[in-house]
Structure 1
Amino acid sequence: MNRGVEVDGNGTQGIPAHEPADIALRLAEARRTLNSGAAEDAAALFAALRDGTARLGLVPERAAALVGLGDCALESGDLAEARDHFAEAELLLADEPLPCRVPALRGRATAHLLAGELRYSCYLLETALDELNASGLRDPGALLLLYTAAIAPYMDMGAHARAARAAELALGLAAQVDDPALVASTHRGVARTLVAEGRFAEADASLAKAQELCRQLHIRTELAHCHWMRGYVHAQDGNLAAAERELRTAREMLASKRAPLFTVQVEVELADVLRRRGRADEAAALLAPLLSPSALGAERGAVHAGGAHRLLGLMAEERGDNDAAEEHYCAALSLLERTGAAGDLADLCRLLGDLLRRTGRTDAALNAYRTGLGHRAAPGTTTLGPAPPLPPRRLVG
């Protein structure tokens, strides 16, 4: 791998022999700081490393610092900044083998996912998987990053079979990777596919193991996301008291670590649980601040922004305000149509169609139902290109 080592006027290398090793230790420390939930502190460490490695001409170390900065930006909710950091890292490593570029590529795909650009996120991940598997480069860590990252956009787009296959392949690779945070993230993604299959107890057990791993190793950021997913599992299973408890824990952890985008996304799911528990006023109070562009919107958490409008529409219907309900449903539809989130779109079109039918607008109701059906069959939901290919046989055994 080309390190871009500086050479002085006498033709000798100008980097002390100990420098790359020292920087590797500092990169590891910055990563531990991020895993602990201190994204701002980690960003300062990664920024110093980015600048120092640029002066020394250490290309892979600089790329690693940029990936770290991108991950910090994801945590703080600055998706545009995150994409820029990841793209710069990819550019630096353009001449390196694909496994070297995978952390940056996966980060960029995640940023696009969080912005609601599900199809493009899938495209980036699937293209990399195709290339990696076709090349014969046996890198379980790179494959695990990609398969794990693919689960969420597949699920959001309604491609449940593909998500389950990606989860199966990821689980087969997890034992070969020495990265506890990534392994915990894998179990979190797998849990969502288990929910889609109605296997709630297995999903909860998997998340409990991931949580214990995170506690033992003080991986606080991933632990918060495990609580979040466990709350989601309980909510889907109808165990609303447990769901509220887990989501409140996740919200508290994320808010304390200044992760605003993830915090407001958890608050949308918590609001849904509160409404279902008969506490609509609490839910509405929680949702009201989330609809500003600085909290959620078309470029920043579009799926959850649509979810917030959906919930407000449901609560408006429940209190008999059909006009407000229709307004919120239409706002949600406008947000979700850009994302391709097939399940959310179908459910929303059903709600809007039922509202229009009950208020005597049959033709408009039929159009809403047709819109939902059309999105279910749109390119990118049923046709995503080739399914994720198998990695080399030795990696899944």
Structure 2
Amino acid sequence: MKRQLIAAVGVAAMVVGLAACGSDAKSDGDKAGSSSSAAKNYSGKTLKVWLMSGSAPKGWDDAVKTEFETTYPGSKIEYQIQEWTGIGPKVTAALSEGSVDVLEVGNTQTAGYAATGGLLDITKDKAAIGGADWNANQSESAILDGKQYAAPWFVTNRVVAYNKEIWGKAGITAPPKTLDEFYADLDKVKAVPGVSDAIYMPGQEWYVYFGLLTSEGGKLAKKDGDKWVGGLSTPEAQKAFDTYKALQSHSVTGPKDGDEAKPQQKDVFAKGDIGSIIGLGWEIPTEKEMPKEKIGYFPLPGKTADKASGVFLGGSNLAIAQASKNSDMAKDFLKIALNDKNEGLVAAAGSIPNKKSLDDKVVGDFAAAAKLGAASGGITPTTPNWASVENNPNPIKEFLTGALTGDYAAAAKKADDEIAKRLNAKQ
């Protein structure tokens, strides 16, 4: 599921040109509300569903298709698999033309598509689809101005991956439970002969900082009246940065003006002289690159042992196109696609499902650590302009480098001003 995890880092596709999308579209039933499945007949109708390459776990699409077509005889589910590269303009066109009914969208992209009229408001259908049990911190990514525009499908997040062999030589027998224990362990790891870095952590790992900010109850930005303001000059942001700086100080080779992408963390870690990294599943070396029995995982600890540090929750939502002529059919598709059986397949593939009750179905050492952090996770601000903040030059990355190498207050103010400028820009 590598591609789904690449999407999860939150690099949003360009979301433009949807203003004329589907506002006058007709459907086969009410845009709001659902009737019972027994009263519905979708015979002869085809539902077009777009999924992104690598997202659906093996067997999920077939299981959902079979269940739907059995429940509604004569109906047909038609999947199209899309690539993440260049998906923004393609989605824009499809939503405008009404050529897709249900589509997977990255959770940081959802607000943009919703704001410009591309996605159907499913607020009144949320309970019928199963939304009463959705994790609030996942569902948040699909809510704009108090309305639900998509259903959460899955998320993933970063965890600490460590070299068991090196940690064993350091005399560490169990993962740390608090940040202070983690710092102490990193000092022990650094003392192991041949170790170049106790933790490889470049200075611009802003998603790690985001999680720490979430732990402190802070936000990268928030609404003040009808305007957005940056949140990096707040006491919560300062506390989060103090933790971030303490972690980053244990990294000798991680450049303060670089991020985790160049070089890729997995390539650095696979060399065998790095004690640990904080990364996503696709940032972990493959079996061919590094024996899996040499890698252990734990959630980034919190300040106290009862709660892990916060994380950024990256993943995908399932949405219905506003212009769909099969909106009732699409709602029933979501109900089946997200039921416990099919959502359980997502958990069994190593992602975090959309409801707490399915956590015991999560499989894999990485995912087991990730689900502990996910409980304290959050998402970036739900505004259609958020993608512009992540665009280079990313002011949060520049803030981290500036604060690590100079004056925190000055770096925070500069970033806050730029974040507010981008978020308040007219679309």
Determine if the TM-score, normalized by the shorter chain, exceeds 0.5. no
TM-score where L is the length of structure 2? 0.30
* Higher-helix-fraction structure: 1
Greater share of residues in strand: 2
Greater RCO structure (CA 8 Å; 6+ sep): 2
